Each structure stands twice: as C-alpha cells, then as structure tokens.
Amino acid sequence: MSNGKTGFLTSGQKRKIRNNMIGYAFILPNLIGYAIFVFIPVVFSFVLSVMSWDGSKRPMQFVGLANFADIFGDKIFRGTLLHTITYAVMTVVPTLILALLLAVLLNNKLKGVAIFRTAFYFPYIASIVAVGAVWNMLFQPDFGPINEFLKFIGIADPPRWVVDKDWAMVAISIVSVWKYMGYYMIVYLAALQGISGSLYEAASLDGANGWQKLWHITIPMLTPTTFFVMIMLTIQCFKVFDLVYVMTGGGPGNATKTLVNYIYEKAFTSWEFGPASAGAIVLFAIVLVITLIQFSGEKKWFKDL
C-alpha cells in the first residue's frame, strides 16, 4: 500500500492518508456502536417529542408542542415533578451529611478501617430488587421490625410507611440514603487524603481542638467535593426509577410516581411515544441545568484553588 506504486501521491500525502486510516480503525468499533445506539437515539428523542406516534405501522405525525402541552396539562405529570423534587431534597441532604461524617470518622488511624468501609459501602453494590424486597418487609406497617421498634421506644402510632401516601416517599428516601451514603463516603475519603497535613499541624500549634479543625479546615477544604457530590447525587435522584418501581410501584395512588416512572409507563405500557419523549426532554432539560451549574461551579473552584 505504501510502496509507492500509485505514483499520484507524494509520500507525505500517503503517510497522512495512512495515519487517518489507522486513527479511524482504532475509533471505529466504538464510534459505530455509539453513533447507532446512543447518538441517533439522543437526536431522535427530540424528534419524537414533537411527534404523535404509537409505534405501529401508521406513520408518525408532527404535532408541534402538543405533547408538552399535554403532559404539563396532566395532573399526574405535574405530580411526578413534585415527587421527584421532594425525593431529591429528602435524599441529597442526609446522604451528603452522613457521607461526610462517616468519611471523617474513617479518616482516623484506626485498626479495621477496611472492615468498616466495606460495611458502609456494601449496600451500594447490593441489587435494588433484593434491597427493595427486604426494606419493604422492614417497613411493613403492622408487624414490621421498624414499626415494632418505634412502638417499643414509645411511638404509639408509627407511620404506615409505604402504604401511606404521605410517608411512602420518606421510606424510599431512607432506603436511598442508606444505599448511597457509602459510595459518597468513599469519594469524600479520597478527597480527605488530599488535604495537606500541615494545615492541621499549624492549627494544632495554634491550639485548635478537633471540632474547630473539622469546622475550619476539613469542611471548607472539602467544598469542591461537596459541590461535586451534590451535583452527582441530584442528577442520580432525578433519574430514580428502580427503587420506586420495586418498593411502591409509584403508589399508593400516584404518591411516589417519579419522572422516569412516568416516562416508562407512557412509553411501555400505553405506547404513547410522543408524550413519553416530551417527558424525557423535560428530564434532559433538568439534568442540563444541573450540569451547567456544575460547569460554572467548577470554573469557580478552579479559579479559587
């Protein structure tokens, strides 16, 4: 191929073509798959959101923003937005605080740190289906261990958790916090290792105690990590589906139905691809806004650091 038989191209041009071919050969296996299975669907989801289609042989029809008008006129959809936001707030804040606390505790030189770390991290890798099943039983309102315990410590009328529309989302958030805090604890631990020991030594010389060091050194130094964790967690919460699906199925009523549950049901049980995609675009818009906040925040931290 490059032994100069063609004669039309200079050797420099031939080398360039060869380099191009080699480069493409390396990226093509991934590029083809990515273009077909990710990029095209992403573009197509915008197209679908302004179309009316049920997936049958009938051609799709352009309906403009009717799908968006439809879903925002739908009380159930507006409810899912509210539930998702509630879930996000109830999950993000406690997860952040507990992850930070656990990380600070584990950052001490102790024997058996690895064992504790494993215990805290373990819920994260356990599957949602198994975890959802066991927590549903723990939350069982009449004889479940959680309510037995609450009665034991003197709460005569404990919440009915997953069967009560006011408490179901709280229950789901509790499970989420339990499941996710170990993961973010490790993120925090990694960040803690990065804080220079000399800061603490200087503070000790100035007579600072443990709390003061935590409050005036550790927490401020961790601000970029906290910001990052908060963004990741919030995005994760807006994508919630499995846990709701296995714990309450969106019920009781529609009390725990989230945005993705809505998209899923619209698409795969009633085959209304248009409204489902409109819902998906709303999810995209939310995640995009959060990501933009992340970018501007990252710029800020990097200027500061």
- For the segment 74-103, give every residue that binds other proteins (CB under 8 A): 102
Question: In the Cβ-directed half-sphere of 214, how many Cα atoms lie within 13 Å?
Answer: 11
The candidate with the shortest Cα–Cα distance to 54, out of 299, 275, 292, 227, is: 275
Give the shortest CB-257-to-other proteins separation in angstroms. 14
Beta carbon nearer to other proteins, 90 or 186: 186
Q: Does 215 bind other proteins (CB under 8 A)?
A: no
Alpha carbon separation from 304 to 193, 298, 299, 300 (Å, rounded):
20, 10, 9, 6
Euclidean distance between CA atoms 83 and 87, whole angstroms: 6
**Continuous H helices in the chain:** 11-34, 40-49, 66-73, 75-106, 113-125, 128-138, 145-152, 168-193, 197-205, 210-213, 219-221, 223-238, 242-247, 259-268, 273-304
Q: Hey, which residues between 180 and 199 contact other proteins (CB under 8 A)?
A: 182-183, 186-187, 189-191, 194
**Per rule CB under 8 A, is residue 135 in the interface with other proteins?**
yes
Token couple for 160? 């009915």
Asked if 110 interacts with other proteins (CB under 8 A), we say yes
Contacting residue, 200, 252, 264, 293, with other proteins by CB under 8 A? 264
Determine which residue in the list 96, 131, 162, 247 makes contact with other proteins, applying CB under 8 A. 131
Least gap, CB of 83 to other proteins (angstroms): 15
Does 31 contact other proteins by CB under 8 A? yes
H/E stretch holding 109 reads: none
Instruction: Tell me: does residue 68 bind other proteins (CB under 8 A).
Output: no
Q: What is the DSSP letter of 52?
A: E
SS3 state at 101: helix
Give, as ranges, the residues between 137 and 156 that touch other proteins (CB under 8 A): 137-138, 140, 142-145, 148
Nearest to other proteins of 29, 220 (CB atom):
29
> Quick check: 114 binds other proteins (CB under 8 A)?
yes
242 binding other proteins? (CB under 8 A): yes
Nearer to other proteins, 7 or 193 (CB): 193
